């Protein structure tokens, strides 16, 4: 089967880029499943029900989040009602929402998605490796589900790479989010799991990781915080990956970086 996973959508620029380009990508690449990280979609901080519905109307099957999941107060109640919206699985027990779920595609395929948040240079949460181990014990790739996506929303590249090897052979794709810069290490690991350290963001790259440069520069150069970060509003680039898998095993046969629109050099996978 074929899946597309798009990185962190940042503000209106990111939303507009996804709205513009995702229908074309769907028509050209014909994916069975589409996931999007939406944790920065609402003005750079969190996501709302309205934005979720906009993504779903575009054909998105699952929206993941991350450390900004609770920045919009409505998410606390909305995530309980919306099984297609996930938060990191390694939040403490009793946290609203789910960190993993199984989805059925339009063609009847079963896709299991689990998201965790890293702990290096991030707020302390439960062990992400133990959380992934617990979630992967619930399903079996190639038997109970056709595709397994593991998202590690983390700062450190070492932690993301470690998660790739931890889940190698047990997941179809391990992808990193959060850093907002696409890495050049898309590969299939030795036991058959596709991996990319960070998908990059869907947003304006004439920015400081999606934000208008003025306030970040103020904080870096003068150590003064005078305003809230605001998303850059130029033309956005859609970034992510496309993954094809072996129908018998669910392991990856192909991973291709995906970049379209905006300032970055395009990378649009061939349809076959």
What is the per-residue pLDDT across 70-94, written as a single tens digit (0 to 9) for each? 999 999 999 999 999 999 999 999 9
pLDDT at 128 (0 to 100): 98
Work out the average pLDDT over 158-186: 98
Instruction: From the candidates 21, 68, 153, 180, give the one annotated as an active-site residue.
Output: 68
* Domain-embedded: residue 209: yes
Tokens 């934005």 belong to 51
The structure's pTM equals 0.97
pLDDT at 43 (0 to 100): 96
Q: What percent of the chain is modeled with pLDDT above 70?
A: 100
Contacts of 240 (CB under 8 A, 6+ apart): 4, 5, 6, 7, 199, 200, 202, 257, 258
pLDDT at 184 (0 to 100): 98
Q: Which of 138, 189, 198 is nearest to 167 (CA)?
A: 189
Count the Cβ atoms, other than its own, within 10 Å of residue 219.
14
Instruction: Answer yes or no: is pLDDT of 227 > 90.
Output: no
pLDDT at 226 (0 to 100): 79
How many helical (H) and strand (E) elements, i.e. helices and strands, does the chain have? 6, 11
* Domain-embedded: residue 118: yes
Return the minimum-mean-pLDDT range out of 41-50, 192-201, 222-231: 222-231
In which element (H, E) is residue 103 found? strand 100-104
Sheet with 194-196: list strands edge to edge.
Answer: 100-104, 110-117, 147-153, 173-177, 194-196, 187-188
Q: Is 68 a catalytic residue?
A: yes
Q: Which of 217, 220, 167, 226 is nearest to 192 (CA)?
A: 167
Q: How many domains does the chain have?
A: 1
Looking up residue 193, the CATH number of its domain turns out to be 3.60.21.10
Q: Which of 123, 188, 121 is nearest to 158 (CA)?
A: 121
Work out the average pLDDT over 208-220: 95
* Domain-embedded: residue 208: yes
Main-chain phi, psi angles of 175, to 5 degrees: -130, 140
Can you tell me whether residue 192 is helix, strand or coil? coil
pLDDT at 238 (0 to 100): 98
Spatial distance between the Cα atoms of 198 and 38, rounded to a whole number of angstroms: 15
pLDDT at 225 (0 to 100): 85
* Domain-embedded: residue 266: no
* Domain-embedded: residue 267: no
Instruction: Answer yes or no: is pLDDT of 116 > 90.
Output: yes
- pLDDT tens per residue, range 56-67: 999 999 999 999
Confidence of residue 121 (pLDDT cuts 50, 70, 90): very high
Work out the average pLDDT over 234-260: 98
Domain that holds residue 175: 2-260
* Domain-embedded: residue 39: yes
* Domain-embedded: residue 179: yes
Spatial distance between the Cα atoms of 115 and 135, rounded to a whole number of angstroms: 10
Instruction: Answer yes or no: is pLDDT of 262 > 90.
Output: yes
The pLDDT mean for the chain works out to: 97
Which neighbouring-strand residues pair with 259?
239, 267
Confidence of residue 237 (pLDDT cuts 50, 70, 90): very high
Instruction: Answer yes or no: is pLDDT of 272 > 90.
Output: no
* Domain-embedded: residue 199: yes
């Amino acid at each position: 089967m074929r899946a597309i996973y798009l990185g962190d959508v940042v503000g209106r620029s990111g939303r507009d880029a996804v709205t513009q380009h995702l229908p074309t990508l769907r028509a050209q690449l014909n994916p069975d499943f589409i996931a999007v990280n939406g944790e920065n979609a609402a003005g750079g901080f969190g996501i709302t029900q309205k934005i979720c519905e906009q993504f779903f109307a575009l054909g998105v099957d699952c929206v993941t989040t991350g450390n900004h999941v609770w920045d919009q107060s409505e998410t606390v109640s909305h995530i309980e009602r919306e099984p297609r919206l996930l938060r990191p699985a390694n939040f403490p027990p009793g946290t609203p929402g789910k960190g993993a779920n199984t989805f059925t595609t339009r063609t009847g395929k079963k896709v299991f998605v689990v998201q965790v948040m890293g702990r290096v240079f991030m707020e302390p949460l439960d062990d992400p490796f133990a959380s992934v181990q617990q979630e992967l014990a619930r399903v079996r790739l190639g038997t109970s589900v056709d595709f397994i996506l593991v998202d590690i929303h983390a700062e450190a590249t070492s932690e993301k790479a470690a998660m790739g090897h931890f889940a190698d052979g047990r997941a179809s794709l391990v992808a990193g989010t959060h850093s907002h810069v696409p890495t050049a290490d898309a590969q299939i690991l030795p036991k058959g799991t596709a991996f990319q350290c960070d998908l990059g963001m869907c947003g304006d790259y004439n920015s400081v990781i999606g934000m208008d440069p003025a306030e970040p520069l103020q904080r870096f150069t003068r150590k003064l915080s005078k305003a809230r970060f605001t998303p850059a509003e130029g033309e956005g680039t859609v970034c992510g990956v496309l993954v094809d898998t072996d129908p018998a095993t669910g392991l990856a046969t192909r991973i291709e970086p995906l970049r379209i629109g905006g300032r970055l050099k395009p990378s649009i996978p061939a349809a076959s």
